[in-house]
Amino acid sequence: MKDIVRVGVVGSKFAADFHCDSYSRNPFARVVAIAAIDNLEPISKKWGIPDTYLDYHEMLARRDIDLVSVCVPNFLHREVVLAAAKAGKHVLCEKPLATEIEHGREMLDAVRKAGVKLFYGEDWVFSPSLRRVEAVLAEGAVGEVLYVKAKECHNGTHSPFAKNKQTCGGGSLMHLGIHPVGWVLHLLGQSGRNKVTEVTGFCNGGAADNFVHKDNTGEDFGLGVMKFAGGQRAFIEGNYITVGGMDDRVEIYGTQGVIKVDLTQGSNVDVYSRPGYSYWIEKADNAVGWTKPAVDEFYNLGYVDELHYAVECVRNDVQPMYGCSGQLGLACVEIIKAMYGSSERGETVRGTWG
């Protein structure tokens, strides 16, 4: 077993920050280097990272790095994962795995051939609230699950790359709806045995066809329905028209009960503020009046345990479970692309995904 997993991070902004935060909480992980095209000084100072690189290839050439965290815009995931695999590094890729299905397949092939592990970072799988839900379900508390409703929505992306359909791989359904898609696959997919057999999508068309974000070439409103071979259905939402802070919710309907989860706005702290204060939740416009400040947002969303899990897999040399695998990451991209096809053609698409 490895004592310490030495990590190199590619990217230096929003996602890189929560990766560094999560690794900093893990005594068995050390971020030894970071590579990006900007923001290197502030992030390396904040997290005490000794070495910085403007070219990630130079960082990958180091022999002492075990695991690479991929925190760059979606369209760059493929090239960084391929380069990391070629350099013999295990790699954890942020969502979505890729902007195109073919790229995702190529990435899975490359890591298999290189004999390195690929972790797909769906943080919902590691959210403490959703893991509690899994434990409650395992006891049979709501009987057989029939229907899951799940969404991630907010008021628009901060990243210019995510506004562009090509560099994002889609719009709000690809960028946000991918969380509930991935989590539902983890929950109901029985490690890839219970396949998705039907999907239907309803999306705005991007740009002028969007509700609000006319400067986004991807959609700002997306809905999808999935049907599993076992008969369960899931309704997925990912939109950029939700003001008032990031809104991640899950509802589960079973033969014997119901479960409801508020992942982002359900803090047990209530604040009423006349002048307002700096921050209560991601993507909120202000913190005036009544708010419920997140207590530990990164932990609650699952990032801390997700990266802890990847580090443990590297330390113990075990492959990731389905919920954190490239197989699941690829299935998410395939399903969302099928939802886009369905929305464009106005018909349900049948196939085998998972």
Ligand X SMILES: NC(=O)c1ccc[n+]([C@@H]2O[C@H](COP(=O)([O-])OP(=O)(O)OC[C@H]3O[C@@H](n4cnc5c(N)ncnc54)[C@H](O)[C@@H]3O)[C@@H](O)[C@H]2O)c1
Least CB distance from residue 140 to ligand X, whole Å? 31
Beta carbon nearer to ligand X, 74 or 232? 74
Contact call for residue 35 and ligand X (CB under 6 A) = yes
Beta carbon nearer to ligand X, 43 or 314? 43
Beta carbon nearer to ligand X, 159 or 286? 159
* Burial bucket for residue 195 (CB in 10 Å: 0-12, 13-18, 19+): middle
Calpha distance 24→17 (Å, rounded): 10
Work out which of 78, 89, 90, 95 binds ligand X, going by CB under 6 A.
95
* Residues between 192 and 211 that touch ligand X (CB under 6 A): none
Label residues 21-58 b or e (16+ Cβ within 10 Å = b): bbbbebeebbbbbbbbeeebeebbeebebeebbeebee
Place of tokens 């803090």: 267
Work out which of 94, 237, 297, 305 binds ligand X, going by CB under 6 A.
94
Contact call for residue 38 and ligand X (CB under 6 A) = yes
Least CB distance from residue 275 to ligand X, whole Å? 29
Name the segment binding ligand X (CB under 6 A); options: 34-42, 107-115, 258-266, 314-322.
34-42
Least CB distance from residue 13 to ligand X, whole Å? 3
Number of residues near ligand X (by CB under 6 A):
24
Contact call for residue 177 and ligand X (CB under 6 A) = no
Contact call for residue 37 and ligand X (CB under 6 A) = yes
* Residues between 42 and 61 that touch ligand X (CB under 6 A): 56
Mark residue 261 as left, alpha or beta (left: phi above 0; alpha: psi -120 to 50; beta: remaining).
beta
DSSP string, 168-202: HSSSHHHHTTHHHHHHHHHHHSGGGTS-EEEEEEE
Contact call for residue 76 and ligand X (CB under 6 A) = yes
Work out which of 52, 159, 265, 273 binds ligand X, going by CB under 6 A.
159
Least CB distance from residue 33 to ligand X, whole Å? 12
Least CB distance from residue 176 to ligand X, whole Å? 9
Contact call for residue 161 and ligand X (CB under 6 A) = yes
Contact call for residue 41 and ligand X (CB under 6 A) = no
Beta-strand ranges (E) seen in 36-77 are 51-53, 67-70
Contact call for residue 74 and ligand X (CB under 6 A) = yes
Nearest alpha-carbon partner for 8 in 81, 68, 88, 85: 68
Least CB distance from residue 307 to ligand X, whole Å? 11
Least CB distance from residue 21 to ligand X, whole Å? 12
Q: How far apart are the first and last CA of the chain?
A: 32
Calpha distance 239→153 (Å, rounded): 5
Which residues 6+ apart lie within 8 Å of 87 measured at CB?
60, 61
Beta carbon nearer to ligand X, 90 or 179? 179
Task: Map residue 331 onto helix, strand or coil.
Answer: helix
CB 40 within 8 A of CB 58: no
Cβ of 68: how many Cβ atoms within 10 Å?
Answer: 27
Contact call for residue 254 and ligand X (CB under 6 A) = no
Nearest alpha-carbon partner for 108 in 80, 82, 71, 73: 82
Beta carbon nearer to ligand X, 145 or 153? 153
Contact call for residue 265 and ligand X (CB under 6 A) = no
Binding mask 98-137 for ligand X (x = CB under 6 A): -----------------------x-x--------------
Beta-strand ranges (E) seen in the chain are 5-10, 29-35, 51-53, 67-70, 90-93, 118-120, 145-153, 196-203, 221-228, 233-239, 247-254, 258-262, 271-273, 289-291, 349-353
| Site residues (vs ligand X, CB under 6 A) | 10-16, 35-39, 56, 71-74, 76, 94-95, 121, 123, 159, 161
